[in-house]
Amino acid sequence: MARFKLTIEYDGSGFVGWQRQENGFAVQQALEEAVTEFSGETPRVFGAGRTDSGVHALGQVGHFDLQGDYTADTVRDALNYHLRNVPVVVLEATQVDDQFHSRFSATGRSYTYKIINRRAPLSIDKGRCWWIPVALDADAMHEAAQVLIGKHDFTSFRATYCQADTPLKTLNVLQVERQGEMILIHAQARSFLHHQMRNFTGSLKWVGTGKWTTADLKAALDARDRRAAGETAPPDGLYLTGVSY
């Protein structure tokens, strides 16, 4: 039995998310079917994070076990051959020991949210960024974001149906930068609550438009009530960029 770690890139637009579901096609299902097609085996592919429908990945990590004798390069190339008709790519496959687990061995996860801030609608980036036509102050957004750094009760920024055992999380990084008409929001933590990054982004948008101040964002955090925070940003602009071990 050999265990393989995968680094995976995908466009989440046409998927119901990472996790297999009855209501549509999932990234996990695409990978598992590709494994079966090349190996004849039916292992489960475990992921480091359960990205939502429409959320993308530049560095998702997964793992699975195979009985057959395959090199890591063969696994990567065979999977990519059988994934050729879906927007999923295995960037790297590595053989690891059986103590490795893509989810439970992870020590950190990184996300980036992409906003296009311009008057003209999107064409090429449609479905891959959040289009906001009103002017945003990225510097004010970055300054306000710093009140969220550290260990907090993030109830105000979790989905109401989030299944995490506790709303307490430690946020290590939350940075906002402008690159021309694009605004990037970078976050890093050991783990995130359901919709946490999208709810951060929706609240920071209110800061960027001048609707909120840094004090308002801090008040929303302290309220520990989802109704106190901003809107949930659409999934289009969210990317899982990496997982650390």
Has this prediction a pTM greater than 0.85? yes
- Residue 87 DSSP SS3: coil
Q: Which of 11, 52, 65, 98 is catalytic?
A: 52
The reply to whether 131 and 89 lie within a common domain is no
Determine, yes or no, domain membership for 156.
yes
Task: Note whether 55 and 49 are within 8 A (CB).
Answer: no
The reply to whether 36 and 88 lie within a common domain is yes
The reply to whether 41 and 162 lie within a common domain is no
Single out the residue in 63, 96, 129 at which a domain terminates.
96
pLDDT digits (tens, 9 = 90+) for 115-174: 999 999 999 999 999 999 999 999 999 999 999 999 999 999 999 999 899 999 999 999
Range of the domain at 90: 2-96
Task: Supply 113's token pair.
Answer: 């949210």
52 a catalytic residue: yes
pLDDT digits (tens, 9 = 90+) for 5-46: 999 999 999 999 999 998 999 999 999 999 999 999 999 999
Q: How far apart are CA 213 and CA 147, in angstroms?
A: 11
